[in-house]
Structure 1
Amino acid sequence: MKPKKESSKVLDHPLFQELIVMYQKSLQKRYSEENLKLYPEFRSIPRNTIDRLLHFFLEYLYPEYSKRKELDAAFDALSGFVNHPTKIWGILGNLAMSIFRFGKHFPLALKAGLAALHSYVTAHQFEEELVMELDRRENKLRLLESEFAMDSLIAKVEKQKADAFRKDIGALFKVFSDADLVRKIILIMEDILIKMQSKGNLYTVEDKKGITLGVSILKEGRAIFDQMKEEEISLILQAIDTIEEDFYQKACERDSN
């Protein structure tokens, strides 16, 4: 059965391209050398690691508009699998055979993989919150071009939603930090892709691109943590959580003044 596509609700917004540029600038500012001076507890994290982290954000979460348009169909297909995991069972077959192929930890690995990719999906759901707030404003384009545009919009997002988004991103990177788990998840997803390709026209090109996108996200995310010690990984995860929480709190404070 083909997964039902879940169309983007924001891609066709007339100012979505400007919204992405705004988000990219905000990310670059948050993880700039200047801003990171405010967090001396994280100064031991190498700059090249920060740059790889930022690259992942900009390449896979909030790429340039033209690339986002190309990825959107794949993203929709991936969302369909993540939100309806029973569709994966239809591709893989019975549980016993999958455990035989991938080992006894197969169910746990698959669950962790779906949870990680769900975190990726929620990152794009967060866009809807920003777009809805943008639509409430006058002089929308002028706002998006202002220095504190992101601060102004995110300050109106409910704290519960902002916290959930931050925790989802943290959960995504936590999965990336587990090399063995990521390896198993990638093997499973690559097997899913092979089976989809073997079934001819049963699955669309977008469906296959969706799974390919999932594999790419996992590989690129894992690459950030290659060769790192456990304490270094822990520090990076802590840095992401602290910087993102701090950004939201400061935005709320600025908005209330």
Structure 2
Amino acid sequence: MKPKKETSKVLHHSLFPEFIQLYQNSLVSRYSKENLQNYPEFHSISEKTIHELLTFFLEYLYPSYEKRKKLDAAFDALSGFVNHPSKIWGILGNLALSIFRFGKHFPMALKAGMSALHSYVTAHSFEEELVLALDAQENPKTFLESNFAMEKLISFVEREKADAFRKDVCALFSIFSDKELVRKIVLIMEDILVKMESKQSLYTENDKNGISLGVSILKEGQKIFDLLKKEEMVLVLQAIDKIEKEFYQKACTRFRTK
């Protein structure tokens, strides 16, 4: 899914606090112990892993309104770097020197890092689709308070966009499962921060916070997979894909009228 713009429009929507609470509640329900009982193939995933996965969703993908406001400027800055990778190259400077410092896989690691963060950024554009659907309702505030409001909203989203969103989220977690790659990406981004600090007249506090946010996302995401075996990692990725896919499909079956 292609990000619409770097500055979040929905954050300033009058009903965004209620909307994000609805989204969080839906995530808690989807990854609850009760709902996971419907997926016997994922029973071997530990409660600890599910808890860490849900925490990541709630803290980084869809944080509370108050936290989102604090992160907004950093998120916009991160979006700017992700959507315009040349900015990163400008900070790092000489490619040959970077390869010498970080190894021959430096270009691949940097590209993978940008890809992971791009998935993070584009995941946020999905909420714009949902808020547009909310605005199309006769009484949006009353609609948010209705039963199955989240399912109804998501049923308005085109399948192509819903599929793209799900793939973005899965791509993000797929990067997290490669521990060595994430380690290299974090090293590179921390080096970018050091260079920013040395050129304070060129980079704003928001720029630095944006890169710091990227580092935090990568580190926190990797924690989910830190102690898992390869087959367990694959299972977690399959679980995310299937749970999100079925949530959308069931919503469409139940509420889509055409």
Task: Mark yes or no: TM-score above 0.5.
Answer: yes
The 1-side partners of 2:237 and 2:102 are apart by 28
SS in 1 for 2:10: coil
Q: What is the DSSP-based 3-state SS (H/G/I as helix, E as strand, rest coil) of the residue aligned with 1:97?
A: helix
Normalized against structure 2, the TM-score is what? 0.96
1:141-171 C-alpha deviation (Å, 9 max, x unpaired): 1221223111111111111110010001000
Is 1:40 the counterpart of 2:40 in the alignment?
yes
SS in 2 for 1:200: coil
Asked if the contact 2:156–2:256 (Cα under 8 Å) also holds between the matched residues in 1, the reply is no
Matched, 1:226 2:226: yes
Structure 2 counterpart of 1:196, which letter?
M
**Aligned partner letter, 1:21:** Q
Q: Note the C-alpha offset of 1:138.
A: 1.4
Secondary structure class of the residue paired with 1:137 = coil
Q: Distance in 1 between matches of 2:24 and 2:179?
A: 28
Alignment correspondent of 2:191: 191
Residue deviations 1:53-74 (CA, integer Å, cap 9, x gap): 0000000011110110000000
- TM alignment of 1:207-222, pairs within 5 A: 207-222=207-222
CA RMSD of aligned residues (A): 1.0
C-alpha distance in 1 between matches for 2:56 and 2:22: 17
Cα distance in 2, alignment partners of residues 16 and 96 from structure 1: 46
Counterpart of 1:169 in structure 2 is 169
Deviating beyond 3 angstroms after TM superposition, the runs of 4 or more aligned structure 1 residues are none
Corresponding residue number in structure 2 for 1:132: 132
Kindly provide the CA deviation profile for residues 178-233 of structure 1, in whole angstroms up to 9, marking residues without a partner as x: 00000000000000000001102211110000000000000000001111100000
Q: Does 1:145 align with 2:123?
A: no
User: Which residue in the other structure is 2:22 paired with?
Assistant: 22
Question: What is the Cα deviation at residue 139 of structure 1?
Answer: 1.8
In structure 2, give the amino acid aligned to 1:147: N
Distance 1:133 1:256 in 2: 12
Partner letter of residue 136 of structure 1?
Answer: A
SS of equivalent to 1:6: coil
**In the aligned structure 1, how far is the partner of 2:213 from the partner of 2:19?**
23
Deviation at 1:23, TM superposition (A): 0.2
Q: CA deviation at 1:256?
A: 3.2
Unmatched 5+ stretches in structure 2:
none
Question: In structure 2, what is the Cα distance between the partners aligned to 1:47 and 1:21?
Answer: 23
Q: What is the letter of the counterpart of residue 39 of structure 1?
A: Y
Partners in 2 of 1:141 and 1:27 — Cα distance? 20
Query: SS of the residue aligned with 2:6?
Result: coil
Q: TM-score, normalised by structure 1?
A: 0.97
Query: What secondary structure does 1:98 align onto?
Result: helix
Q: Which residue of 1 aligns with 2:54?
A: 54
**Structure 2 CA distance, aligned partners of 1:135 and 1:180?**
44
Distance apart, 1:6 and its partner CA: 2.7
Report the Cα distance in structure 1 between the residues aligned to 2:196 and 2:6, rounded to whole angstroms: 19
Preserved contact between residue 22 and residue 145 of structure 1 (Cα < 8 Å): no
